[in-house]
Amino acid sequence: GQNIDQPTEMTATEGAIVQINCTYQTSGFNGLFWYQQHAGEAPTFLSYNVLDGLEEKGRFSSFLSRSKGYSYLLLKELQMKDSASYLCAVREGNYQLIWGAGTKLIIKP
């Protein structure tokens, strides 16, 4: 069946590095997305991976291993504004995205 797993909640310290993992089992794969969602706001796009490896975009990087059904989002030099939920989603076919429940990241000073 289809399944995407992420930790429910993580806590990290301002200025540190945090890695948010996502494992997936889907019947098809046309790429994996990461979104950020601040409380009460809409999700916003962070990254897309379709090939194995690391994609770096400023303080945020995303990694994909298709053979392991695994991705992670790496956040460096954490800032208080990074406190948010991070959503992992797999594009299974042409339209459908399968979503994880999201990881709530709490940043402490």
Q: Which residues bind other proteins (CB under 8 A)?
A: 4, 8, 30-31, 33, 35, 41-45, 48, 50, 87, 89, 91, 94-102
Q: How deeply is 107 buried, as exposed, middle or buried, from its count of CB atoms within 10 A (0-12, 13-18, 19+)? A: buried
CB of 101 to other proteins, least distance (A): 5
Least distance between other proteins and beta carbon 61 (Å): 17
How many Å apart are CA 78 and CA 16, to the nearest integer?
5
Rounded to a whole number of angstroms, the distance between the first and last alpha carbons of the chain is 41
Residue 26 vs 78, nearer CB to other proteins: 26
Nearer to other proteins, 75 or 85 (CB): 85
